[in-house]
Amino acid sequence: MPRTIAFLLFDGAEELDFAGPWEVFTMVNELRPGEARCYTAAETPAPVTCAKGLRVLPDCTFTEAPPADLVIIPGGIGTRRERDNPALRAVIERLRAGGAALASVCTGALVLERMGLLDGRRAITHRVGIPILNKNPQITVIESARYLDEGDIVTAAGVSAGIDMALYLVRRFWGPGLADEVRQAMEYYPEPWEAAPSSDAAARRSSP
Amino acid sequence: MPRTIAFLLFDGAEELDFAGPWEVFTMVNELRPGEARCYTAAETPAPVTCAKGLRVLPDCTFTEAPPADLVIIPGGIGTRRERDNPALRAVIERLRAGGAALASVCTGALVLERMGLLDGRRAITHRVGIPILNKNPQITVIESARYLDEGDIVTAAGVSAGIDMALYLVRRFWGPGLADEVRQAMEYYPEPWEAAPSSDAAARRSSP
């Protein structure tokens, strides 16, 4: 079933927070043309300057944003300002009223928190946002979670967790077979994490 | 030691190929201000339309691109055209002559191959590019590698492998301690890969 995914951008949005899920969902559309229509939206048509300086031109403005099945809300330092931006809140409320599920990555959860949308739910965010969510007694913060699916609201941990959340949502929307195809197309077989590997270990990994 | 990292963009560059390493190296600069200066460059000042439709405004043109210590060459469908683009080859040659190491992600390796820079070396690329590299008997393709460090030339496998390669290069340039800090700031602790997990397994992973 074709789905539309809206990526909401703003100055100070963290690059990988949206670029990771963007890669996942646009890969769905490459593998199954027409199945996942992805667009970026921002408050104005001007270029967005992301948290680390990448400049992105949005496809449309918040007021032009077409109905969506899923809305990706990235984190980044800009969320501290954007959580009180009526234009961002309005587009989230409008798309949600039209049936969209909301999915935050990283400190994007702070926007949902300020809107009251995490009250009575489990949630996760980047480690820097956890003390903020913990101040709200209505939220059950699950610090060990990579992402949490509460049905119409999904939250992910920091930055790269958006990739895992997006792959999970591909499983939820289209099934595990397509999620595996996307993972293979992205060659997403990350190295296992090792704390402070020696340079010998690094050299070994770069060898066959 | 401060280093400059150039990200070369072109129409049809795969989004995560550059956005992953961009996140890694700009995070170095957030953790150690001034240590990693990152910029994007394209042939013209016009917005670049990436492989999956994201539109990015480059910081400078290829001819304006300042000297760099490392050049990131993303893959994507655009490489099939760009590997014969004299403007892209010229900026790579100029930065390399100035001492930059070259690092390809995904089918970015096809650009290096066409320039003859992989001759006599081990290399890896996205699975779709492997038959192309294999046609060149001067190249030793290591199909099992996530990335390969040949000193002045580094190649990575497809798309998300750029993140692992970039974290490796942070270890190489600045040491494992900073690479760990970057990984923690990105919360890059990916889920282990499982082929076609059941929906039960997915639900378990989204629970604490």
Residue A1: the pLDDT is 85
DSSP codes of every residue in B130-187: HHHHHT-TT-EE-TT-SEEE-SSEEEE-STTHHHHHHHHHHHHHH-HHHHHHHHHHTT
- Categorize the per-residue pLDDT at B204 as very low, low, confident or very high, splitting at 50, 70 and 90: very low
| Amino acid A190: pLDDT | 81
Is B197 a residue whose pLDDT tops 70? no
Chosen for mutation from B5, B7, B206, B207 (greatest number of chain A CBs closer than 10 Å) is B206
Q: Which run of H or of E encompasses A169? A: helix A161-174
Q: Token pair 């039960």 is at which residue?
A: B200
Domain ranges in chain B are 3-205
Of B38, B54, B192, Cβ closest to residue A40:
B54
State residue A60's pLDDT score. Answer: 98
Residue A201 confidence (pLDDT): 41
B18 has a pLDDT exceeding 60: yes
Give the mean model confidence (pLDDT) for residues B164-169. 96
Q: What is the pLDDT of residue A194?
A: 56
Nearest to B126 by CA among B138, B111, B139, B110: B110
Who wins on pLDDT, A194 or B59?
B59
* Confidence band of B194 (pLDDT split at 50, 70, 90): low
Residues A20-38 have a mean pLDDT of 97
Instruction: Give the span between the Cα atoms of A81 and A102, in whole angstroms.
Output: 19
Q: What is the pLDDT of residues A82-109, one digit of tens each?
A: 999 999 999 999 999 999 999 999 999 9
What's the pLDDT score for residue A62?
A: 98
Q: What is the mean pLDDT of chain B?
A: 92
CATH architecture of the region B3-205 = 3-Layer(aba) Sandwich (3.40)
Segment A4-33 shows an average pLDDT of: 98
Q: What is the ipTM of this complex?
A: 0.91
Cβ neighbours around A192 below 10 Å, total: 8
- Residue B34's pLDDT band (boundaries 50, 70, 90)? very high
Residue A199 has pLDDT above 70, yes or no: no
Name the pTM for this structure.
0.92
d(CA B114, CA A96) in angstroms, rounded, equals 49
Q: Which among B150, B163, B187, B193 is the top mutation candidate for probing chain A, defined by the most A β-carbons within 10 Å of its own β-carbon? A: B187
Kindly tell me if the per-residue pLDDT of A32 is higher than 90. yes
What is the residue-averaged pLDDT of chain A?
92
The closest CB to that of B187, out of A22, A158, A168, belongs to A158
A157 touches chain B (CB under 8 A): yes
Per residue in A116-169, pLDDT (tens digit) is 999 999 999 999 999 999 999 999 999 999 999 999 999 999 999 999 999 999
Q: Which helix (H) or strand (E) holds A201?
A: helix A199-205
Looking at the predicted structure, is the pLDDT value of residue B196 above 60?
A: no
pLDDT tens digits, residue range B100-158?
Answer: 999 999 999 999 999 999 999 999 999 999 999 999 999 999 999 999 999 999 999 99
Nearest chain B Cα distance for residue A15, angstroms: 7
Contact B157 A205 (CB under 8 A): no
pLDDT of residue A17 exceeding 90, the answer is yes
Model confidence band, residue A193 (pLDDT cutoffs 50, 70, 90) = low
